[in-house]
Structure 1
């Protein structure tokens, strides 16, 4: 079976023949080794040296040099907003206290859909609207800032600082 052994990060893509794409939700974008099939039918084995977070716009490099584009799949989420910055911070604290993955934007927070948490947010004065979009949650304190919430390290060569 054809293997993909490297990741080209979105910012480092230059040239290369993109032959297919994989559409993966947040959970499926954290991988090391698994069989995959692109939407165009290309079957391959993702075979990385260690687990890595695949980001929207990355490409997997096949053994023959061709590329498979990585696309973040839309997911059912709650978009949480608040009437002011203090109220949003308070909601973020309550969400974080439940140890669930969250993507934090300047004016909203996104979490996986959960009707109980939607009710909690509304009870605390916020809004919780169901949306469908790619999910890019914050990493845990020990994950290097990437979208997976556990302490295992991963290889990367991003075009941003981890300071």
Structure 2
């Protein structure tokens, strides 16, 4: 006799609240934080179904709950491979941002660097433009775009 495993359906997003008790953490990559409907697991192996409104962009610390808010998880950003790109001047960095944007590459923008997922072709282009590039494994927070910023 097989036993059916219940899957928790998370349909609501709430703002971060460090005081809120949660049933688990959901560690997601940058790409996964942009998806609104799929199956996944908490760190403890609990099966979840995300069924969020289309266009939802999840951020570090967001709370996801069931429709009745009787069960919730906290979103955590997963460490993933990232290239950190620096330039000799702000103008050079701006040029690099232009070329990455022209290729529709997801980019995290900071005051002194651009961050992106590793790609050998893009790395070669950026080095040709004079970039200093460092590799790391860290949470990645690319810009969500002007039309998704407040989704």
> Where on the TM-score scale, by shorter chain, does this alignment land: which range?
0.7 to 0.9
Q: Which residue of 2 aligns with 1:37?
A: 41
1:97-135 deviation digits (Å, cap 9, x = unpaired): 211111110000001101221121111111121111111
1:20-40 deviation digits (Å, cap 9, x = unpaired): 111111111123222222111
Greater strand content? 1
Pair 1:23 & 2:35 matched: no
Q: Alignment partner for residue 56 of structure 2, among 44, 52, 57?
A: 52
Pair 1:7 & 2:17 matched: no
Q: Which runs of 4+ in 1 moved over 3 A?
A: none
Q: List alignment gaps of at least 5 residues for structure 1.
A: 147-153, 155-163
Q: Which residue of 2 aligns with 1:132?
A: 137
Q: List alignment gaps of at least 5 residues for structure 2.
A: 1-6
| TM-score, normalised with respect to structure 1 | 0.79
CA 1:14–1:106 in 2, change beyond 3 Å: closer, same or farther? closer
| TM-score, normalised with respect to structure 2 | 0.85
Coordinate RMSD, CA, aligned: 1.8
1:130-162 deviation digits (Å, cap 9, x = unpaired): 11111111123432x26xxxxxxx4xxxxxxxx
Number of matched residues?
144
